[in-house]
Copies of this chain bind each other. A is one copy, B any other.
Amino acid sequence: MKQISTRFSMAIHTLSLISMNPNDSTGDYIAASVNTNPVVIRRIMGMLKKAGLVEVRPGIGGASLRRDPESITLLDVYRAVHAADEDQLFRVHTDTNIHCPVGRNIERVLQEELQAAQSEMERRLERTTLAKVIHQFE
């Protein structure tokens, strides 16, 4: 099965470090904690920046949160790093046979059901703040 990318968990990791230690939080420093290549972290920081979650200091290095960690939810992070796609968790097959009553209606019916399931998941992510996550590291 296709799983949700580790970009998401790496982004939470990244935000935690930035929140706890803004000055040291260079791409290299975070990469050492995540244990990956600094470019991977810089890419994620770019997405977090575009989403308005962090402010990065080019030249001097480091980054800081642009919002209170109490106000940043895991859903915010999830959306930030999955920016590209239209954030539909479930794919539904299309171009079905319109001469069949199932083929004609399946897409609409499933979109409703699956969107509901996705929303439940997202609501749960929304209930956890970055602050709550960070609290478990201190």
Determine chain A's interface SS by DSSP, over half rule. Answer: helix
Chain copies in complex: 2
Does A1 interact with chain B (Cβ within 8 Å)?
yes
Contacts of A95 in B (CB 8 A): 35
A65 CA / B101 CA spacing, docked (Å): 19
Q: Decide: A17 and B102 in contact? CB cutoff 8 A.
A: yes
Q: Decide: A3 and B91 in contact? CB cutoff 8 A.
A: yes
Q: Decide: A12 and B106 in contact? CB cutoff 8 A.
A: yes
A1 CA / B80 CA spacing, docked (Å): 11
Does A16 interact with chain B (Cβ within 8 Å)?
yes
Does A60 interact with chain B (Cβ within 8 Å)?
no
Pick 17 A–B contacts, CB within 8 A, sort by A: A1-B4, A2-B5, A3-B91, A6-B91, A9-B110, A10-B93, A12-B106, A13-B103, A32-B97, A74-B117, A89-B121, A101-B138, A110-B133, A113-B125, A113-B133, A117-B121, A118-B121
Q: Chain B's nearest CB lies how many Å from the CB of A128?
A: 5
Q: Mark A53-91, 1 if CB is under 8 A from B, else 0.
A: 000000000000000000000100000001011011111
Q: Decide: B128 and A4 in contact? CB cutoff 8 A.
A: no
Q: Which residue of chain B lies nearest to A17 when distances are taken between CB atoms in the complex? A: B102
Does A36 interact with chain B (Cβ within 8 Å)?
yes
Partner of A9, one of B16, B89, B93: B93
